[in-house]
Amino acid sequence: MTHLLVQGASGRLGQIIFHLAQQSDAWQVTASEKGGSLEPLVATTEVSIDVSVPEASVQIASLCARYAKPLVIGTTGHSDAQMKSIDTAAVTCPVLVAPNFSVGVNLLFWLTRETAKILGEAFDAEVIEMHHKLKKDAPSGTAKRIAEILADARSTVYEDAVRHGRQGMVGQRTPREIGVHAVRGGNVVGEHTVVFAGEGERIELIHRAASRETFAHGALRAAQWLVGQAPGRYDMENLLDLK
């Protein structure tokens, strides 16, 4: 058995990860509790999964670095400063950061990159995401990652290229512009569409998630893979050998 710590086990995804780990002979699982001391849990575990909030991600990353313990982060909405702290932790322990643990979504990332390279700026790129009405951050971490891939393929940066929705007299669309649009409603688990619109034709790459168990299985697969890896920053594309 591998001793697993789940931070954020009271959340939607965290509950499912914890339950699946409990049901498996491969894991001995512990959940961190609000107000409890996190350090002794990290010190005695073999790998941790964080699906909590950005501030808590930074805390557990620092502890995992101190004890050289692998960490999988599925939390989204980190600031640049918080991501720098996580990258600093990855110098001394393996850290896998994934805005989405779905195998299908990570294939979508790869397809987005390859499609953008082939089509070039002759096709306008837009990203549309839809999630349940209780989701707090926008755009989703997955949508942001897709936009980052598109920006990189076009030799620009996310902050310069992205337009979050459009309102008023925004002017003509520029070739390097990347629209990102967040839709919220109902109990939608997650849907992401990448649109490549050219003159007279359009290509759409779509991923729809019907169950959070998809993400939970992916998170546990990531944790198992990360044990034994060298210190560094990893993602699901490393795990799936899509690099």
Note the pLDDT of residue 33: 79
pLDDT tens per residue, range 113-164: 999 999 999 999 999 999 999 998 899 989 999 999 999 999 999 999 999 9
**CATH 3.40.50.720 domain range(s) in the chain:** 2-101+213-239
| Token output for 210 | 């019907």
Note the pLDDT of residue 146: 97
pLDDT tens per residue, range 55-76: 999 999 999 999 999 999 999 8
Which residue of the set 3, 19, 135, 217 is catalytic?
135
pLDDT tens per residue, range 3-55: 999 999 999 899 999 999 999 999 999 999 777 799 999 999 999 999 999 99
Residue 131: active-site member: yes
pLDDT tens per residue, range 182-206: 999 999 999 999 999 999 999 999 9
**CATH 3.30.360.10 domain range(s) in the chain:** 103-209
Residue 173 one-letter amino acid:
R
- Residue among 73, 209, 66 at smallest CA distance from 132: 209
Q: Which residues of 64-85 are buried (b: 16+ CB within 10 A; e: fewer)?
A: bbeeebbbbbbbbbbeeebbeb
Tell me if 216 sits within 8 A of 162, measured CB to CB. Answer: no
Tell me if 182 sits within 8 A of 138, measured CB to CB. Answer: yes
Mean per-residue pLDDT for 165-178?
A: 93
Using CA atoms, how far apart are residues 8 and 57, in angstroms rounded to an integer? 10
In sequence order, the β-bridge partners of residue 131 are 184
Q: How many helices (H) and strands (E) does the chain have?
A: 9, 11
**Sign of the Cα pseudo-torsion (226, 231, 237, 238, in order):** negative
Using CA atoms, how far apart are residues 101 and 97, in angstroms rounded to an integer? 9
Note the pLDDT of residue 77: 86
Which residue of the set 78, 131, 144, 181 is catalytic?
131
Using CA atoms, how far apart are residues 14 and 18, in angstroms rounded to an integer? 6
Instruction: Give residues with Cβ within 8 angstroms of 67, minimum separation 6.
Output: 42, 43, 93
Record the pTM. Answer: 0.79
DSSP annotation of 242 reads -
Residue 135: active-site member: yes
CATH fold for domain 103-209: Dihydrodipicolinate Reductase; domain 2 (3.30.360)
Using CA atoms, how far apart are residues 123 and 50, in angstroms rounded to an integer? 37
CATH fold for domain 2-101+213-239: Rossmann fold (3.40.50)
- 5 — alpha (psi -120 to 50), left (phi > 0) or beta? beta
- Contacts of residues 12-17 at CB distance under 8 Å and 24 or more positions apart, as own/partner, are 12/212, 13/51, 13/74, 13/212, 13/215, 13/216, 13/219, 14/51, 14/52, 16/212, 16/213, 16/215, 16/216, 17/49, 17/51, 17/216, 17/219, 17/220
